[in-house]
Amino acid sequence: MENNKSPKLRTVNKSVSAFPLNEFPKDFPFLLGKELIYLLASKGKPELEGSEWESIFATCIGADWKPSNVGLDDVVMGNTAWGAKTVKATKPSTQKRVRLISGRNSPNYSFGERSDQKADPTLIGKLVLEIWNERVSAIREKFKHLRTVVLVKSNDLSEVVVFEFETVRYDYELYKWEWNKNNNLVGTHKKTGEHCFTWQPHGSQFTIVEDVPEKCLVIKIKQPKTLDKDQILKALGFDKSWVTVTQKTSKP
């Protein structure tokens, strides 16, 4: 007997992101606050840079920390990947725009194109964006959702702002490129005149200027006392037997 019914299949929607953009898990801000307090108490100084922020963010959302050479997919959860950036600000909660160092894009290396101040700024700007776009495309082949998560931090880490945005390709035709007085290449949006990119010929550093969205987390923490190093070592039961010392000598 012929069966004309369609089979019932178990399906999984692989297009759903880890969570909606800028809607972090409920306990995320408290976990991040705890990590910041521990960092300050253990280090004794407010130092939090790229790789450490990547690791902390991954821990706080239950993702995997997988440092990459490209720097766009250092944190992974299912079909969603993040690059992580830190920026200093005197008062993070009032910061409107941030400058994000976003890798080294060298038209000279990638295209064999001269890229000093005598070069055509429009051409160099186009090539810089093409390098960026190629990186984004390569990562998006592996991950359906690609984002950048930003930590805007005060000098003492007592206040931070966290937000994320979609990591996208840029249409070079939308931007005007000019060399500025510092001999850096600046990209502005043709319609709005807003500063969007800076590229430095020396070192090929590429910076993206991003707006801080209205929907972002503002986290303030109480400054902890620094943990006493000797007390910690005593609690661990440390003694000299934990350390082995050898000295290499040159052969006669």
Q: How far apart are alpha carbons 102 and 206 in whole angstroms?
A: 5
pLDDT digits (tens, 9 = 90+) for 148-190: 999 999 999 999 999 999 999 999 999 999 999 999 999 999 9
- The domain 28-234: what is its CATH number? 3.40.600
Using a pLDDT cut of 90, give the percent of the chain over it: 85
DSSP three-state, residue 244: coil
Confidence of residue 34 (pLDDT cuts 50, 70, 90): very high
Would you state the torsion angle of the CA atoms of residues 49, 51, 56, 59, taken in this order, to the nearest 10 degrees?
170
Residue 12 has pLDDT above 70, yes or no: no
Cα 212 from Cα 102, distance rounded (Å): 16
- Whether the CB-CB separation of 65 and 58 falls below 8 Å is answered with yes
Residue 252: per-residue pLDDT: 67
Query: For the chain, how big is the Rg over CA atoms in Å?
Result: 24
DSSP per residue over 168-220, as a string?
Answer: ----GGGEEEEE-TTS-EEEEETTT--EEEEE-TTT-EEEEEEEPPSS-EEEE
Query: Which tokens sit at 160?
Result: 């931070």
Quote the pLDDT of residue 15.
Answer: 75
Whole-number Å distance between alpha carbons of 159 and 175: 34
d(CA 75, CA 139): 12
Taking CA atoms, 225 is separated from 53, 70, 97, 124, 231, in Å, by 21, 37, 32, 50, 13
CB 212 within 8 A of CB 98: yes
Residues forming a β-bridge with 6? none
| Res. 5: pLDDT tops 60 | no
Report, as an integer, the average pLDDT of 127-147.
Answer: 96
Mean model confidence pLDDT for the chain: 93
| Mean pLDDT of the region 119-125 | 95
Interval 3-31 mean pLDDT: 75
> What angle do the packed helices 50-61 and 28-43 form, to 10 degrees?
140
Coil, helix or strand at residue 162: strand
- In this prediction the pTM is 0.88
pLDDT, residue 3, reads 47
